[in-house]
Chain A
């Protein structure tokens, strides 16, 4: 039971690290970035390609993933999303076009990775870091599990504090509430959007690093699967709430683990997503969702 709970927390941490970046951009600068999964995958893929030429341990791989993720996300913002926002007739149109634009952008790194790997799994097998196993009071785990749990907890708390306490965070939240008023108050939306997208991409890169070490290997399509799960975590917890994403990730992971360990396994997604559906019937804005304050 405790072993399963530990496994569920590990899974929740991966969901959280991945979803945190998506939630950050969606909840503040109103960008639901559907290329997040591809950025996640491609950052790990880049590290995988570099490892044979540049020997590096865990820190090196993590840094490569974070930097590549941040740069890709920044590039997507500048090249795609900013241009869409500039040309869109209104906010609703921009949101829709960003959604489709993100899907379109996502295909490029996916296609590159598929072409290079022929869709075979890839990992960090030749990196200097070794995943080791430990046992404590009957519980088994790995060093990467501990790192993942720690990173997820630290980043969730850090993100929440940053949004709540810092001037940047306040400015970001003000954009999320009303971007026009925040602009009138002197908030530089463009600069903050670029920073937020870079942070979001960096989080995707870190998640990719930890996820790849945890599983041993991922495929070019791995980001797509996580994208759907992250979407569910954010919706369940409530868009714009860091605490909501944490809760959503834990709930989804625990539900999946319970179903997987107590049934034949086929019901896992039906039960997990059915639960989300039920929660949303009762609380449409998600468990910790903020009230809609947009004015017409």
Chain B
């Protein structure tokens, strides 16, 4: 899911101009680690360097910071369990500050540093799109989380440990059937390609499959903050149910205004409503349901093992999907390094293809697979009850 494309857009021209004026340029804290050579060829060295290039400040920091917690936990487990024998994985973190240029230059720095064996790419699509051509050309193994746009997974060096939303959005079928909806009105943001895809293709296709009609579809800009008009248009078409496919802060506002407009039914949403984003809507937020790739309540054994380890490492905090995805990404890399038996980038890249062909259990659930270098997960269906997430049901592994 591409949150940052929207959030950066909402900063507006002012912040962009200011950022340019202040010359928010490259941050290069990644390359200072002393290390064994990543390009040494056979055998695992004592230390293997990995860099996380993610926003730790700025609009997408919520996702970047959570992802880094997932990387930290996985790498600690990998090192503590001596998964790679006496070899230690060392993670450096670079803050992109939500700046595309910084992300690209940090990727270039990592590419130039032969001690870096792989990187964890940015959660931001805009940043990831700038990084991908560089790392692919250099053959530097890169695993992204989030960053749902096209142009991120561009070749054999690039993987994405976040499933494309359309691969698990069909989980809503069961819910819609139970509700007996015969029609649905859709409001979607035009600023996130993933949600445009769901609003204009995936959800209409599901509706057709279930014999439902789409009464109307309204697109809104990423900068839209008041949804009274689009809600009025959708409700005027008298749908049985409403789908709100918006990002971050737009969700509580749309839910509040939907209730104020007199709609009392449930609302199909997306994972942009998760991570407590609906809290500001209070009781008006209750009744939004959405499929997501991970929720801390999901029952798979591997998921619960991750949840407990994460809570222990983070003062009881429940993990978000960003952390779970990052956790699986780090383990995927560790397995690839082990299979390669080397810190050499080319060998790791080759091993990644092999590891990706096998099913595995991870934080995101059981029976996880990779398709076209994107992870595929069963997913879970969530309902917000006004104060927290309620797990409705889980998908099954394909």
Binding site for B on A (CB under 8 A): 3-4, 7-8, 10-11, 14, 34, 37, 100, 103-104, 106-107, 110-111, 114-115, 118-123, 125, 131, 133, 140-142, 214-222, 224-228, 256-257, 260-261, 264-266, 268-269
How far, in whole Å, are A219 and B247 apart by their CA atoms in the complex? 12
Q: Which residue of A lies closest to B19 (CB)?
A: A107
**Can you give 22 contacting A-B residue pairs, CB < 8 Å?**
A106-B14, A111-B57, A114-B57, A115-B61, A119-B7, A121-B280, A125-B282, A142-B260, A215-B226, A216-B284, A218-B225, A219-B10, A221-B15, A222-B225, A224-B10, A225-B10, A225-B223, A228-B13, A260-B229, A264-B217, A265-B221, A268-B221
Closest chain A CB from B259 CB (angstroms): 8
> In the complex, which of the residues B7, B21, B58, B228 has the most CB atoms of chain A within 10 Å of its own CB atom?
B228
Binding site for A on B (CB under 8 A): 7, 10-15, 17-18, 21-22, 57-62, 65, 190, 217-221, 223-226, 228-230, 232-233, 248-249, 252-253, 255-257, 259-262, 275-277, 279-282, 284
Q: Is the CB of A3 within 8 A of B232?
A: yes
> In the complex, which of the residues A140, A216, A219, A226 has the most CB atoms of chain B within 10 Å of its own CB atom?
A216
List residues of chain B with CB within 8 A of the CB of A3: 232
The 7 closest A-B pairs by CB, nearest first: A224-B12, A217-B280, A121-B249, A123-B280, A260-B229, A118-B62, A216-B256
How far, in whole Å, are A74 and B226 apart by their CA atoms in the complex? 30
How far, in whole Å, are A218 and B280 apart by their CA atoms in the complex? 9
List residues of chain A with CB within 8 A of the CB of B226: 7, 10-11, 14, 214-215
Q: Which residue of B lies closest to A268 (CB)?
A: B221
Per a CB cutoff under 8 Å, which of A216, A222, A261 touches B280? Answer: A216
Judged by DSSP, the binding face of A is helix
How far, in whole Å, are A283 and B190 apart by their CA atoms in the complex? 33
Q: Which residue of B lies closest to A119 (CB)?
A: B59
List residues of chain B with CB within 8 A of the CB of A226: 225
Q: Is the CB of B62 within 8 A of A266?
A: no
How far, in whole Å, are A104 and B14 apart by their CA atoms in the complex? 9
Q: Is the CB of A224 within 8 A of B220?
A: no
Per a CB cutoff under 8 Å, which of A104, A133, A268 touches B18? Answer: A104
Task: Contacts A218-B249, A261-B232 given; indicate if A125 touches B279 (C-beta within 8 A).
Answer: yes
List residues of chain A with CB within 8 A of the CB of B280: 121-123, 125, 216-217
Closest chain B CB from A70 CB (angstroms): 21
Per a CB cutoff under 8 Å, which of B10, B225, B229 touches A257? Answer: B229
Q: Which residue of B lies closest to A263 (CB)?
A: B218
Q: Is the CB of B12 within 8 A of A120?
A: no
Q: Which residue of A lies closest to B189 (CB)?
A: A265
How far, in whole Å, are A225 and B7 apart by their CA atoms in the complex? 11
List residues of chain B with CB within 8 A of the CB of A260: 218, 220, 229-230, 233
Q: Is the CB of B14 within 8 A of A37?
A: yes
Closest chain B CB from A119 CB (angstroms): 4
Closest chain B CB from A128 CB (angstroms): 13
Q: Which residue of B lies closest to A115 (CB)?
A: B57
How far, in whole Å, are A173 and B373 apart by their CA atoms in the complex? 65
Q: Which residue of B lies closest to A100 (CB)?
A: B21
Task: Contacts A133-B260, A265-B218 given; indicate if A219 touches B248 (C-beta within 8 A).
Answer: yes
Q: Is the CB of A221 within 8 A of B221?
A: no
Q: Is the CB of B11 within 8 A of A224?
A: yes
How far, in whole Å, are A83 and B68 apart by their CA atoms in the complex? 42
Q: Is the CB of B14 within 8 A of A227?
A: yes
Per a CB cutoff under 8 Å, which of B58, B217, B248, B259 touches A120? Answer: B248
List residues of chain A with CB within 8 A of the CB of B221: 265-266, 268-269
> In the complex, which of the residues A119, A214, A227 has the most CB atoms of chain B within 10 Å of its own CB atom?
A119
Q: Is the CB of B12 within 8 A of A228?
A: yes
List residues of chain A with CB within 8 A of the CB of B253: 121, 215-217
How far, in whole Å, are A114 and B228 apart by their CA atoms in the complex? 27
Closest chain B CB from A9 CB (angstroms): 11
Q: Is the CB of B229 within 8 A of A7?
A: yes
How far, in whole Å, are A120 and B17 apart by their CA atoms in the complex? 23
Closest chain A CB from B250 CB (angstroms): 9
Task: Contacts A216-B280, A216-B281, A218-B225 given; indicate if A121 touches B219 (C-beta within 8 A).
Answer: no
Per a CB cutoff under 8 Å, which of A106, A114, A266 touches B190? Answer: A266
List residues of chain B with CB within 8 A of the CB of A217: 249, 252-253, 280-281
Task: Contacts A7-B228, A118-B61, A265-B220 given; indicate if A103 touches B14 (C-beta within 8 A).
Answer: yes
Closest chain A CB from B249 CB (angstroms): 3
How far, in whole Å, are A114 and B223 apart by their CA atoms in the complex? 17
Q: Which residue of B lies closest to A218 (CB)?
A: B249
Q: Which residue of A lies closest to B223 (CB)?
A: A225
Closest chain B CB from A42 CB (angstroms): 14
Q: Is the CB of B219 within 8 A of A266?
A: yes
List residues of chain B with CB within 8 A of the CB of A266: 190, 219, 221
How far, in whole Å, are A226 and B13 apart by their CA atoms in the complex? 11
